Structure 1
Amino acid sequence: MANTPQSKKRARQLERRTAINKARRSRIRTFLRKVEEAIASGDIEAAREALRVAQPELMRGVTKGIVHKNTAARKISRLAGRVNALASA
């Protein structure tokens, strides 16, 4: 348990940051899920639009420290590949 005033303050700050990070992570996952659902439904235009909207959201997670840069790049690359494969099929 936090005893000093500084450690108590840090504990409060940690709770606040955790809640914010959790909300941001959830928001990113929602955008990614929308892309996945559009791909699964086979709707090319919806998939492209969902990916276009999800990309900046995922990169915002990188700048906020929620997601690693390479992880975000990998996810975007794989989703883009799947959307393009859907378009070419």
Structure 2
Amino acid sequence: MANIKSAKKRALKSEEKRKHNINYRSMLRTFIKRVNNAISDKNIELSKKNFKKLQSVIDKQVQKKLIHKNKASRCKSRIYNKIINIL
């Protein structure tokens, strides 16, 4: 552990931020699983509905710099192509 007061504070803040980010990453994975489950069930309406929610979650996380914008774009593109292939 650090000896300087500001370094101790930074360590605590970093730990808080890490826990916060873990929750957001978990939420992202949950939304991806929901869309993929709807796709595997070949439920077009549900997959489109879940994909719309997923897009907003991904975009919010990009704004918070939790994930890179290119990763977000790649993720949305891959899932959208899966939805298109159901049709």
Same-fold call, TM > 0.5? yes
1:65 Cα offset (Å): 1.2
Matches of 1:59 and 1:30, distance apart in 2? 15
- The alpha-carbon deviation at position 12 of structure 1 amounts to 0.7
Match of 1:44 in 2: 44
| Within-5 A mapping of 1:1-89 | 1-87=1-87
1:10 maps to amino acid? R
Alpha-carbon distance in 2 for matches of 1:45, 1:4: 56
Identity of aligned residues (%): 33
Please list every run of 5 or more consecutive structure 1 residues that lacks an aligned counterpart in the other structure. none
* Letter in structure 2 aligned against 1:21: N
Q: Per-residue CA shift, 1:13-66, capped at 9, x if unaligned? A: 001101111111111111111001101111111111110110010111111111
Normalised to the residue count of structure 1, the TM-score between the two structures is 0.94
Equivalent residues, number: 87
- Structure 2 unpaired stretches of 5+: none
* TM-score normalised per structure 2: 0.96
Deviation, 1:70, is 0.4
C-alpha RMSD over aligned residues: 0.7
Q: Given residue 56 of structure 1, which amino acid in structure 2 is its aligned partner?
A: S
